[in-house]
C-alpha cells in the first residue's frame, strides 16, 4: 500500500477526490476480483417419505393485447374515420384510436388549428416537440414562419385551417414510417373532406407524396397545381416547401413566395 508521509488527512482526502474516489463504501479494503464461493443452499428439513407437497403454481402473467397487423390497423382507421360525421367526432375518435404506436410515446394528440370554415387548408407531416407540448400544429419556429407566410398574402389562423398527416409526434422528431403514415392517412383524408376547402396546400415533400401522389422531388413539383378530390368534389391543390426547410435553406424562400402569390391568386379567383 502506498504511503503518504507528508500528507495530512485533508490533503489525503483532496488527493482521493482528484483521483475520482468521491464515495466511501467501507472501512476495510475489499478485493472485488477475488473468487467468491456461492453459499451452500439450505438443507431441506427431513420429511416422511410418503408426505408430498405440491409445488406452488405461479400466477400466469397478465395477457397483453397483441399489436394490430399493419393491414388490420389501416382497416380499423378507415372504418373509424368514415364513422365521423363532424370534426369534433373525428377528434374524439382519434383520441381513442390505438392502432398507431406513435400515440403511446406522444404527449397528446395534435389535431388541428385555425378556422374549419376556411377556404384554404394547409397540411404538414407530423408534430414536433413544441406541437406535442401545446397540442397545436405549427407553433414552434416553423409555425412562426408559417404565420408570417400567411400574413404576407393577407391570411392568418382565423382564415386558414392547419393540420398534419400524422397527429402524434414521432420520438426524437424522426420522420413517420410509411406504415405510421398509412395508418393515419384515413383520418387526414376524412378531415379534408369535412373541412371541404377550396385550396389544399401540402407543406413539404412527405405531405405532397402522401396526399397528392407526386413522387418527384419537391423542388420540381412545388408550385404546380393539381386536382385533389375531397370526397365531395375536386379542388385545387399545390405543394410548397415546409417552413422548417425554409429555416434551414433561406435562399429557397423566393420560390415559396412565388407559391404564396399563386395561392393568393387562386383564392381571389374563387
What is d(CA 219, CA 228) in angstroms, rounded to the nearest whole number? 20
DSSP character for 158? T
10-residue mean pLDDT series, the chain (270 residues): 55 57 58 56 52 44 51 93 98 97 96 98 97 96 97 98 98 94 97 98 97 96 97 97 97 98 95
- pLDDT for 71 equals 82
Delineate the domains of the chain, giving CATH numbers in brackets. Answer: 70-268 (3.40.470.10)
Q: Are the beta carbons of 125 and 131 closer than 8 angstroms?
A: no
Radius of gyration over every alpha carbon of the chain, rounded to an integer in angstroms: 31
pTM listed for this prediction: 0.74
Would you state the pLDDT for residue 140? 92
Joined grid coordinates for residue 225: 397545381
Do residues 185 and 222 touch, judged by C-beta distance below 8 A? Answer: no
pLDDT of residue 270: 78
- pLDDT number for residue 65: 45
Q: What is the DSSP string of 200-261?
A: EEEESHHHIIIII---S-HHHHTT--EEEE-SSSEEEEEEE--HHHHHH-GGGHHHHHHHHH
Q: Report which secondary-structure segment, H or E, holds 122.
A: strand 120-124
The set of residues, in sequence order, having a beta carbon less than 8 Å from that of 127 and lying 6+ positions away, is 106, 110, 137, 164, 166, 167, 168, 169
Residues β-bridged to residue 200: 121, 237
pLDDT digits (tens, 9 = 90+) for 54-79: 444 444 444 444 456 668 999 999 99
pLDDT at 190: 98
pLDDT of residue 212: 97
- Determine the Cα–Cα distance for residues 78 and 189; give it in Å rounded to an integer: 10
Q: In what order do the strands lie in the sheet with 120-124?
A: 112-114, 161-164, 120-124, 199-203, 234-240, 226-229
- Confidence (pLDDT) at 15: 56
pLDDT score at 64: 41
Amino acid at each position: 500500500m502506498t504511503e503518504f508521509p507528508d500528507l495530512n488527512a485533508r490533503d489525503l482526502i483532496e488527493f482521493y477526490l482528484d483521483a475520482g474516489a468521491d464515495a466511501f463504501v467501507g472501512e476495510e479494503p475489499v478485493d472485488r476480483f477475488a473468487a467468491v464461493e456461492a453459499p451452500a443452499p439450505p438443507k431441506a428439513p427431513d420429511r416422511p417419505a410418503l408426505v408430498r407437497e405440491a409445488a406452488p403454481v405461479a400466477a400466469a402473467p397478465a395477457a397483453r393485447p397483441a399489436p394490430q397487423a399493419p393491414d388490420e390497423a389501416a382497416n380499423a382507421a378507415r372504418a373509424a374515420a368514415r364513422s365521423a360525421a363532424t370534426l369534433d367526432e373525428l377528434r374524439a375518435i382519434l383520441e381513442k384510436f390505438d392502432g398507431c404506436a406513435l400515440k403511446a410515446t406522444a404527449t397528446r394528440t395534435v389535431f388541428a388549428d385555425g378556422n374549419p370554415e376556411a377556404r384554404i387548408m394547409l397540411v404538414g407531416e407530423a408534430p414536433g416537440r413544441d406541437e406535442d407540448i401545446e397540442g397545436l400544429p405549427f407553433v414552434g419556429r416553423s409555425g412562426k414562419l408559417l404565420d408570417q407566410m400567411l400574413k404576407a398574402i393577407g391570411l392568418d389562423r382565423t382564415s386558414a385551417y392547419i393540420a398534419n398527416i400524422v397527429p402524434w409526434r414521432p420520438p426524437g422528431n424522426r420522420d413517420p414510417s410509411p406504415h405510421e403514415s398509412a395508418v393515419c392517412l384515413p383520418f387526414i383524408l376524412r378531415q379534408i373532406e369535412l373541412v371541404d376547402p377550396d385550396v389544399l396546400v401540402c407543406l413539404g415533400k412527405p405531405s405532397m407524396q402522401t396526399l397528392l401522389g407526386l413522387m418527384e422531388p419537391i423542388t420540381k413539383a412545388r408550385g404546380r397545381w393539381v386536382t385533389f378530390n375531397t370526397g365531395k368534389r375536386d379542388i385545387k391543390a399545390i405543394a410548397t416547401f415546409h417552413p422548417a426547410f425554409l429555416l434551414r435553406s433561406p435562399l429557397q424562400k423566393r420560390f415559396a413566395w412565388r407559391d404564396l402569390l399563386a395561392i393568393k391568386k387562386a383564392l381571389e379567383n374563387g
